[in-house]
Amino acid sequence: MRIEIIGGGPAGLYFAILMKKARPAARITVYERNRCDDTFGFGVVFSDQTLETFETYDRESYKAITENFAYWDDISINYKGSSFRVGGNGFCGCSRRTLLLLLQERAAALGVEMKFETEIPSLEALEGADLIVAADGINSAIREANRDHFQPSVDLRPNKFTWMGSTKPLDAFTFHFKETSHGIFIAHAYQYEPGLSTWVLETDPETFEKAGLGAMSEQESADFLEGVFAEELDGHKLLINRSMWRNFPMIRNARTTMDNVVLLGDAKSTAHFSIGSGTKLAMEDAIALYESVMRTQGVGEALADFEETRREEVEKTQHAADVSLVWFEHVKRYWHMDPVTFAFGVMTRSKAITYDNLELRAPEFVAEATRTFAEQVAASGLEVDTKDPVAPAFQPLKLRDMRLENRFVVSPMCMYSAVEGVPQDFHLVHYGSRAMGGAGLIFTEMTCVSPTARITPGCAGIWNDEQQAAWTRIVDFVHTQSASRICLQIGHAGRKGASKLMWEGMDRPLPEDEAWPILSASALPYYPDSQTPRAMDRADMDAVKADFVAAAKRAIACGFDMIELHCAHGYLLASFLSPVTNTRDDEYGGSLENRLRFPLEVFTAMREVWPVEKPMSVRVSATDWIEGGLTGEDSVEIARAFAQAGADLIDVSTGQTSPASKPVFGRMFQTSFSDQIRNEADLATMAVGAITTADQANTILTAGRADLVALGRPHLADPAFTLRAAGDYGFGDIFAPKQYQPGKFQLLRNAERAREELKELKLKAKPKTHNPAFREAAE
């Protein structure tokens, strides 16, 4: 077998090592354009888990790496004069140059041929090879020459960064956040061998321009940054090595293989330096390709297997990197935060680390973050224990005169089970059981203000006395049999109205003989075959506004604790807000101020009749997930406008504006928008969307990304979700009806034991340390 590898970086060399070891007869050649010891940058980072993988696949190169690295267990976060050390992480730093030389030495010992200072101009130069590996870096010539096939996308991120080194010794992976007259600078620093450390310096484009860094040479930039981090460098110099300012390119490819050619490493995909996974991703690519070759027959089958099996893991890493890099891009958003909250946000920014697993690593730090959260609750005027506080999700919250006993919310979820808009016994059991299950706040499904405001024939309404009586029965049950509060979400379907029940075809139009006329901001159908709505005129607006006000008055009569105006998901009021659905040329279209006009009119009219002591919230779609649609920045302004009109909470969802929406799904995928609105507009927010565990809720709250956390599907599966979570966190004060008290006490007893057993299992499953000193002591 003849294997030609273009690029002598970690990905190409490691694949050559693994293949030559497995198939000694294979003819493997590595072509590298640079000299053998020529490399940019300073150090690379590997976690204990990654080192464990290397040990499994090639113990010789693993030993060489671990004998030439600096090991640390802590992450150090330095912000506004405060310093936090968070242990239990397990990383090593290794010189990039040393890593390459070690891999070259190992490859040569196995019989891999290496040709340095050799350019491969095209694939034709390697004609006759069985397998061609294009590991030729970020600017891959092979990928670019075949763009139509690979379909690369390169997202150049806005922040500027430069890669430098220093003689400053470090005993932890260190983040320094420094504010200057120009703006904020961030240092990502770690030691990679005795007396040498990597310093990746980052700043936003505005600060970069104000500081005049674009006009500076490498050395001038280093001198400037030495001044910024003079205290942190403690007299040590910054070292340069092609340390030019750059924008980080997030690279993805629609395809990663072509005939007998495969992309590997940075040519295929990149991961931002803030999660330290670039070299790890490249070497794990090599492992995955090796596995595909070994378990299949023939190169074609192997590359098809690699294409199919490697993508998901890479996308997970890239998603974590995306979330992490965005946090650093918006560090100004968090500059007002208490240092402990800020540090907790740094640790949990990528969603890979959460409240629970951080508590396993650094229990004292999480305890401090929990105390800080409790102190902030106490500062709001609520009496809570700040010395031995409960987990954040079980802390109370007050909105106007409404007090919630915890931060868990049953998300608004349409049940499509009403009859002529009247809630049934199903609704009584549905909402009542979840209230008895302990949630602090129960949201109703979107409840419609008129027969023609419904999404489907099964949607609940609040336009007549029979509906009002049914809702009153539900509210009374919640108030008498639980400690929960209940909020009525009020809305109008707009152009998504007259649709089938969800299980019959979500958002699909009803047959003409069953449909009713529908309204919207503009005469645009939801689907091409959907009914075309009538663009609303002033008379329509007045009538709809009156319907919303009447619904608010009925909500008062029912005894609801709170109401929410639905301005999201492409429904009527959302259709005014989004430029995707609002093409009007009058005072209700065009600018964001104009598009806000009618939703604000409706909200203001409702606020005028709703009791001043009771809160109101607004649900928004913070992004349309469509180019040219609403953005997070727009939604900050929308949230501010509603807050000025009297909103107490912004319920932050996203999308569903149009079938053209292309959301990026994942765990807690909408939380970043709640974070943006909360911390840029300084408003209370509720996070919702793929939040599935109490651990995630605690993470979101402790990091200051939301004030309430709404969970939908977990509450559908388990009405007692909050009660079970209380058991998991040892919160004995959770409400339970007296009839259920014996079950609650047993749950608390069993949960405490189960939590300790789970903690023990997690600790045992943690990757072993690869720190030689610790391993020798253990042995």
How many whole angstroms separate alpha carbon 84 and alpha carbon 558?
Answer: 50
User: Tokens 């990026």 map to which residue?
Assistant: 664
Contact 84, 76 (CB under 8 A): yes
In 3D space, the residue among 692, 602, 689 whose CA is nearest the CA of residue 647 turns out to be: 602
The one catalytic residue in 14, 62, 71, 571 is 571
Burial code of 598-618, b = ≥16 C-beta within 10 A, e = fewer?
bbbbbbeebbeebeeebbbbb
Contact 714, 721 (CB under 8 A): yes
Q: What is the DSSP string of 506-563?
A: TTPBPPTTT----EESSS--SSTTSPPPEEP-HHHHHHHHHHHHHHHHHHHHHT-SEE
User: Tokens 């449909």 map to which residue?
Assistant: 515
How many whole angstroms separate alpha carbon 218 and alpha carbon 507?
Answer: 57
- Phi, psi torsion values for 277, nearest 5 degrees: -120, 10
- Phi, psi torsion values for 106, nearest 5 degrees: -65, -45
3-state class (DSSP) for residue 708: strand
User: Tokens 């070497």 map to which residue?
Assistant: 283
Q: How distant is the alpha carbon of residue 413 from its chain centre?
A: 22
How many whole angstroms separate alpha carbon 615 and alpha carbon 291?
Answer: 58
- Phi, psi torsion values for 82, nearest 5 degrees: -105, 145
Q: Taking the chain, what is the end-to-end CA distance rounded to the nearest angstrom?
A: 43
Q: What is the CA radius of gyration of the chain?
A: 29
SS (H, E, C) 547-604: HHHHHHHHHHHHCCCEEEEEECCCCHHHHHHCCCCCCCCCCCCCCHHHHHHHHHHHHH
In 3D space, the residue among 353, 461, 477, 364 whose CA is nearest the CA of residue 414 turns out to be: 461
Contact 324, 351 (CB under 8 A): no
- Do the bridges between strand 152-166 and strand 238-239 make them parallel or antiparallel, or are there none, so unpaired? antiparallel
Q: Give Cα separations from 260 to 328, 509, 748 (angstroms).
A: 39, 48, 59
- Phi, psi torsion values for 599, nearest 5 degrees: -55, -40
Query: Would you tell me the crossing angle of helices 278-295 and 299-329 to the nearest 10 degrees?
Result: 160
**Encoded tokens for 169:** 């010794």
The shares of helix, strand and coil residues in the chain, as percent rounded to the nearest 5, are 45, 20, 35
Residues 6+ apart with CB under 8 A from 230: none
Q: What is the DSSP string of 404-425?
A: ESSSEEE--------BTTB--H
Contact 405, 440 (CB under 8 A): yes
Sign of the Cα torsion 156, 157, 162, 167 reads negative
Report the 10 Å Cβ neighbour count for 291.
17
How many whole angstroms separate alpha carbon 379 and alpha carbon 386?
Answer: 11
79 is known as an active-site residue: no
| H/E segment holding residue 390 | none
Q: Give Cα separations from 125 to 140, 145, 432, 486 (angstroms).
A: 16, 14, 72, 71
Catalytic residue positions, numbered: 571
